[in-house]
Homo-oligomer: A and B are copies of this chain.
Amino acid sequence: MAATMKDLSRETGLGLATISKYFNGGTVREKNRVLIEAAVKKLHYVPNEVARSLKTQHSRVIGVIIPELSNAFITSIISSMEDILRKHDYAVIVCDCRSDPKREKDAVEFLLHRRVDGLINMATDTTGAHLKAPLASGIPVLLIDRLIESLRGKVSAVIIDNVHAASQAVEKLTGLGHRQIGLVLGSPNLYTTNQRLTGYLNALNEAGIKPTEEYIRYGDYTMDGGYQAVQDLLKLKNHPTALFVTNFEMTLGAMLALQHNGVRVPEDLSVIGFDKLELFGEIFPNLTLIRQPQLSIGRESANLMLNMLSNEESGCRIVTLTTELTEGSSVRPLKK
């Protein structure tokens, strides 16, 4: 059906090696170059990456396994990652495992069959069992956003300093005199959830505040979860005077809950949100936010992967990116 290099060879009278060299940037006599290019056009030749993959033992495919595609943080990482990888002629196969370890393991296997050159994983399985096989087969594995303790030293990772991010936010609030600080976390037992909780507790401790269990809520990293969490917090007889919400969707939900309840920000309650400032645009222009550098996470991940792919020498590396506190006007000193 489709033309092959053999066809080009026949058409031009040149040997296969010459044609191949032409495509791989080797030096080819000018008149042969012209000849080849004419034949390519005439026969509508399209290189066959599959055949090349078989021969070179490199598929130029990176497998990406994520817990959920319907999450703004994740999709923006994927976009910026894919951008760079594709520029380097790597394709990305994305597998959404719906936060299901079983599906995650299946995805790993699926990708291994396809001989992906590398694996990027925002892990659901906190034990890391699903990564045994790829690690054994020697392909580079890169964790993003979530570390897996048992894999320390065996894989590279790109994460943010979650502890710092959370304590920075909470310190901001304690600095303004707040002592009753609500925290809306993601799903229990996730790496990021735990780390952000640690940062929160550290900051409270630093300020000599004993944590109140009721003030700590889990919003599942969803808009609805954030909404619910804040609804619940507001129902407390002695409710928080300040609030820290730990992802974009939950921040949105939280703001909606506050509006629904007629709670003014920051007059009645101080709020620090999270992520994706640009999407808020004009909507909450003055929200104080912790911003994760999602574009950088994607970029770093892609580059680190490309690095692992080319330099066999390099050991594992953990890149920790820092967050930024963007000052808005959604926080104010506690009224005494």
Residues in chain A within 8 A of chain B (CB atoms): 1-2, 44, 46-51, 53-54, 57, 59, 61, 69-70, 72, 75-76, 78-79, 82-83, 86, 89, 91-96, 98, 107, 110, 112-115, 136-138, 222-224, 227-228, 231, 252-253, 256-257, 259-260, 279-283
Given contacts A224-B279, A282-B224, contact A91 B110 (CB under 8 A): yes
Copies of this chain, complex-wide, total 2
Given contacts A50-B53, A91-B93, A223-B279, contact A110 B86 (CB under 8 A): yes
Given contacts A70-B79, A227-B281, contact A51 B49 (CB under 8 A): no
Asked whether, in the complex, the Cβ of B280 is within 8 Å of the Cβ of A224, the reply is yes
Q: In the complex, which residue of chain B has the Cβ closest to the Cβ of A48?
A: B115
7 residue pairs from A and B, CB less than 8 Å apart? A44-B137, A49-B113, A50-B50, A51-B54, A224-B280, A224-B281, A224-B283
Q: Which B residues touch A1, using CB under 8 A?
A: 57, 138
Tell me, rounded to whole Å, the shortest Cβ–Cβ distance linking A248 to chain B.
Answer: 11
Q: In the complex, which residue of chain B has the Cβ closest to the Cβ of A231?
A: B282
Asked whether, in the complex, the Cβ of B283 is within 8 Å of the Cβ of A114, the reply is no
Asked whether, in the complex, the Cβ of B227 is within 8 Å of the Cβ of A256, the reply is no
Asked whether, in the complex, the Cβ of B94 is within 8 Å of the Cβ of A47, the reply is no
Q: Which B residues touch A78, using CB under 8 A?
A: 69, 96
Tell me, rounded to whole Å, the shortest Cβ–Cβ distance linking A83 to chain B.
Answer: 8
Asked whether, in the complex, the Cβ of A253 is within 8 Å of the Cβ of B46, the reply is no
Given contacts A112-B46, A137-B2, A256-B283, contact A70 B59 (CB under 8 A): no
Complex Cα–Cα for A114 and B227 (A): 44
Complex Cα–Cα for A50 and B76 (A): 30
In this complex, which of A78, A113, A224 has the most chain B Cβ atoms within 10 angstroms of its Cβ? A113
